[in-house]
Amino acid sequence: MDDFLAPEKIIREIPSKEEMSVADFGCGAGGITIPLAKKCKDAKIYAIDILSEALSALRSRAELEKVYNIRTLRADLEKGTELQENFFDLVIVSNILFQADDKEAVLKEAYRVLRDGGQLFVVDWKMENDKAEEKIKEGAENEGFKLLREVDAGKDHFGRIYEKK
């Protein structure tokens, strides 16, 4: 998976600080969550996924790697979460929007949980002859996010960092 998504490369692009609160939407088995938790040892990282199996794999991997600043939550991001409103400094949405039936609901939830000035980091698939990338950008801007910059997320992915206005 590391070659597939290059999480270390992505982690370098994340605007991070030691003490921050992060929600990793669609965390899977922790490909980005665990390297970020290691980099920011005092951060509070919430790993959210719809699949219990993915969260279980993440917890096992975190335990093996002695990473203790991750909390897991099972949730359908298209239906919302129980996360606190205006709480997070950063929300990561990686490789889930391309498959979401309701991309706007996921972006709306990210907006809801981010504090003012908080940042949204979107990483998703580059697809030939597909307008998904532009639809995601348009959806984020429609929800009230301002594009700060595009980042290199590898040959198969695009990355964008937005700010909650």
pTM of the model: 0.93
Give the pLDDT band (50/70/90) at residue 1.
Answer: very low
Residue type, 34: I
How many Cβ atoms from other residues are within 10 Å of residue 59's Cβ?
Answer: 17
Q: Give the CATH number, domain containing residue 132.
A: 3.40.50.150
Please calculate the CA angle 54-57-60 and round it to the nearest 5 degrees. Answer: 150
Q: What is the pLDDT of residue 16?
A: 72
29-62 pLDDT, tens digit each: 999 999 999 999 999 999 999 999 999 999 999 9
Residues in CB range of 24: below 8 A, 6 or more apart: 32, 33, 36, 45, 46, 47, 48, 91, 92, 94
Sign of CA dihedral 116, 119, 120, 126: positive
Tally of domains in the chain: 1
Q: What is the pLDDT of residue 7?
A: 80
Domain of 148, in residue numbers: 2-8+17-164
Q: How would you write 104-154 as a 3-class SS string?
A: HHHHHHHHHHEEEEEEEEEEEECCCCCCHHHHHHHHHHHHCEEEEEEEECC
Residues in CB range of 129: below 8 A, 6 or more apart: none
Angle between helices 132-143 and 103-113 (to 10 degrees): 40
73-91 pLDDT, tens digit each: 999 999 999 999 999 999 9
pLDDT tops 70 at residue 72: yes
